[in-house]
């Protein structure tokens, strides 16, 4: 019996250390995640031509850019990445319009010229306000909307595609969930932007694009999102593409992937009763 007690004591010390370490990890994640996750101060505060402001749910303002294209079948509703804003993205958004799409994009709370403080809940709330603007003011139905999320923007993009059924969902350089970018496996009882677990609820076609050399959100995240998405789905994997140069490395294949995916979504809409 003394030997058994001594054994439990020896075992209890490392278990206590592990338990305390895990507790500190949980506390640290709770208190520090939003401060480290969101980087609005690195984004431009410049107002692109045509910038609009709509009311945010908290009474503040949401900066929004609408680029009409009368000949477009689809409107791309674009959700940008971290450390970027409409002021940074204007050339890219114009290039989407030039490819034959109408475009709507907005800045998250605290980014660009939007007021507020970023958080997962605040980003979802502002996205719902933009969705109301799309549907009620611009008269763009869900069935003619391609939701496109890049990097951090994959989070609200998946959530919005889960809440309604758009023509299609595009995920570019997005993560399976926030903490798993760092931990790889699920170690905590909670997470942020749990895209992988939400994707099975998305009923529209999905296009996943990811660079195989992505050093910020590893390629395995793109593979996990692809595996979680239902058919019909498409993928564009780019060897040599990093996190911030995916479009440049993809070149013409980027536009081709969007065009082919748009045609797939249009064909499904045409086949619907």
Active site amino acids: 151, 214, 243
Q: Which two tokens stand for residue 111?
A: 């980014």
Using CA atoms, how far apart are residues 202 and 225, in angstroms rounded to an integer? Answer: 12
Q: Which two tokens stand for residue 172?
A: 């570019």
Alpha helix ranges (H) inside 38-169 = 86-98, 120-132, 154-163
Among the listed residues 102, 96, 95, 98, the one whose alpha carbon sits nearest the alpha carbon of residue 72: 102
Q: How far apart are the first and last CA of the chain?
A: 75
CB 78 within 8 A of CB 105: yes
**In a 3-state reduction of DSSP, which class is residue 105?**
strand
* Residue 117 vs residues 41, 43, 105, 110, 122: alpha-carbon distances, Å: 12, 14, 18, 5, 7
CA angle 249, 250, 252 (to 5 degrees): 125
């Amino acid at each position: 019996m003394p030997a058994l007690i001594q054994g439990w004591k020896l075992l209890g010390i490392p278990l206590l250390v592990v338990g305390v370490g895990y507790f500190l990890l949980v506390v640290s994640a709770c208190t520090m995640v939003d401060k480290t996750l969101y980087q609005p101060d690195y984004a431009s505060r410049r107002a692109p031509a045509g910038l609009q402001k709509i009311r945010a749910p908290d009474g503040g303002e949401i900066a929004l850019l609408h680029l009409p294209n009368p000949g477009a079948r689809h409107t791309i509703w674009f959700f940008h990445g971290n450390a970027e804003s409409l002021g940074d993205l204007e050339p890219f958004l114009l290039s989407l319009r030039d490819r034959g799409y109408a475009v709507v994009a907005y800045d998250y709370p605290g980014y660009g010229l939007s007021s507020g403080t970023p958080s997962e809940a605040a980003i979802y709330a502002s996205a719902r306000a933009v969705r109301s603007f799309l549907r009620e003011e611009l008269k763009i139905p869900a069935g003619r909307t391609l939701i496109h999320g890049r990097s951090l923007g994959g989070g609200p993009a998946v959530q919005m595609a889960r809440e309604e059924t758009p023509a299609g969902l595009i995920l570019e350089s997005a993560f399976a969930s926030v903490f798993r970018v760092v931990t790889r496996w699920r170690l905590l009882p909670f997470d942020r932007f749990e895209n992988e677990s939400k994707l099975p609820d998305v009923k529209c076609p999905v296009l996943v694009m990811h660079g195989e050399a992505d050093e910020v959100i590893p390629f395995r995240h793109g593979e996990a999102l692809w595996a979680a998405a239902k058919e019909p789905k498409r993928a564009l994997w780019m060897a040599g593409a990093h996190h911030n140069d995916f479009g440049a490395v993809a070149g013409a294949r980027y536009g081709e992937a969007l065009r082919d995916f748009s045609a797939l979504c249009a064909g499904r809409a045409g086949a619907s009763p």
